[in-house]
Structure 1
Amino acid sequence: MSQDIERHGVAARYSEAAVFNGMVYLAGMVPERGDTHIRGQTQDVLDQVQQRLQEAGSDKSRILRAQIYLTDIREIGIMNEVWDAWVVPGTAPPRATVQAALANPDWKIEIVVTAAQL
């Protein structure tokens, strides 16, 4: 029996999220507010992750995996401070953090998550 794939925020090139078989797959979330510092950009992206998960019937305590891309790995400590304050205690997901060139030179961070629905 096949199930339908539910897509959220569909654009020509990608969807903000896809839901299939009780799983939520988010696209890479990048800063939108114009912050120039890693702290503000990280909070912006995490706020977006939380909002997209809620729209798809999940929340941050249900994240199964996170992939974090930083343009400067030396900023991991500041990013971790924001991340640690955001993650629900006892639910920190498996995570990878790597340095990468991002599509927009103003972006310092991009986060991709997979989560289970509620």
Structure 2
Amino acid sequence: MSDIQRIATDPRRSRAVVYNGMVFVGGQTADDRSQDIQGQTRQTLAKIEKFLADAGTDKSRLLTAQIWIKDIKNDFAGMNEVWDGWTVPDSAPTRATCQCELASPEVLVEIIVTAAV
């Protein structure tokens, strides 16, 4: 049986969990919520990159991503511009993107990823 490694755990959640050769990074959002969609996406992806590194992997090993956007009509293109520049060429994960009401009105994007270690 594989050990479970939890990263940045508090009473409510772990930011990332490593199990059986995979890392599951929970929903990440920007810290500076005054930024536009591109700024929030950059900050969110930087946080994800850090948690992947903490788990011993990187964005070239992404398997899947879920992206939630507050306003997909107005922010999809801006988010995609940052996402496309961040992903490793020829290593894009599977991805689903949808519009939803997020936990705070200032949050424009939330992203979850799973990667191989």
Q: TM-score, normalised by structure 2?
A: 0.96
In the aligned structure 1, how far is the partner of 2:91 from the partner of 2:34? Answer: 28
CA contact (8 A) 2:34 2:106 kept: no
In the aligned structure 2, how far is the partner of 1:68 from the partner of 1:5? Answer: 25
- Unpaired runs of at least 5, structure 2: none
CA contact (8 A) 2:22 2:116 kept: yes
Structure 1 residue 9, shift from structure 2 partner: 0.3
Q: How does 1:39-58 map to 2 (within 5 A)?
A: 39-58=38-57
Q: How does 1:19-58 map to 2 (within 5 A)?
A: 19-58=18-57
Corresponding residue for 1:99?
99
Corresponding residue for 1:7?
6
Corresponding residue for 2:110?
110
**How many correspondences in the alignment?**
116
Q: Which amino acid aligns with 2:10?
A: A
Structure 1 residue 35, shift from structure 2 partner: 3.5
Q: Which amino acid aligns with 1:54?
A: A
- Unpaired runs of at least 5, structure 1: none
Q: Where has structure 1 moved over 4 Å in runs of 4 or more?
A: none
CA RMSD of aligned residues (A): 0.8
Q: Which amino acid aligns with 1:26?
A: V
